[in-house]
Amino acid sequence: MALGSTKLLGILGVVLAACAPYSAEPIAPDSPSPPASGPATTADSETSPSPPDTTGQSNGTPPANTGCSEAGAKTFGGHCYFKVGSMTSYEATAECIGRGGHLVTINTKEEHDFAKTFSPNAHMWIGMMAVLPSKEESDFGWVTGEPVKLDAWARDQPNGDGACVAFDDEGAWIDHSCTTKYAALCERE
């Protein structure tokens, strides 16, 4: 089922807001949009530092495509895929954009199987989000606005635990609090 334009605009707003500096205001554990400046607050009251400026540019625009030179990077379908370290989904979004990409979007079973090779037996953020935590698959969409063409949800998922999506230990999709720290998979076209 396709996302409505209001939901899609909300998801894109989340992505754009994730790239803004953080605010000192804490956020609810499952809030879909990060604060405007300062550290984010996780569900267990730990704070996360603001993501570093990885653009190297004062205007905040992502750098031009730099090929596929990151450590451990692999190509698939003409795109570059690379893993970034343990961080919140918001920090991972900013990190991927800062490197000229986005959190991975997965459109085929083959791409899904390929993406799973980056984090076997471990959770990893992917580029699917909802405006608010939801139990409805149709409320989730890719951060790029691409249509969701694949259903790789784990059993009984989404369950309303969060507005961000990660691979579970077996590579199925689970919704989770966006402030949880996992590795993340970036994709650069």
Domain membership flag for residue 98: yes
Please tell me the distance from the alpha carbon of residue 187 to that of residue 72, in angstroms, as a whole number: 13
Q: How confident is the model at residue 66 (pLDDT cuts 50, 70, 90)?
A: low
Average the pLDDT over 10-26 and give the result.
Answer: 41
Domain membership flag for residue 58: no
Domain membership flag for residue 23: yes
Domain membership flag for residue 59: no
Domain membership flag for residue 85: yes
Q: Structural domain tally of the chain?
A: 1
Domain membership flag for residue 62: no
- State the pLDDT at residue 98: 96
CATH code for the domain in which residue 132 is found: 3.10.100.10
Could you list the residue range(s) of the whole structural domain that residue 14 is in?
Answer: 5-49+68-188
More confident residue, 62 or 85: 85
- State the pLDDT at residue 67: 80
Q: What is the CA radius of gyration of the chain?
A: 15
Domain membership flag for residue 45: yes
- Residue-wise pLDDT for 144-185, tens only, equals 999 999 999 999 999 999 999 999 999 999 999 999 999 999
Domain membership flag for residue 57: no
Please tell me the distance from the alpha carbon of residue 92 to that of residue 55, in angstroms, as a whole number: 14
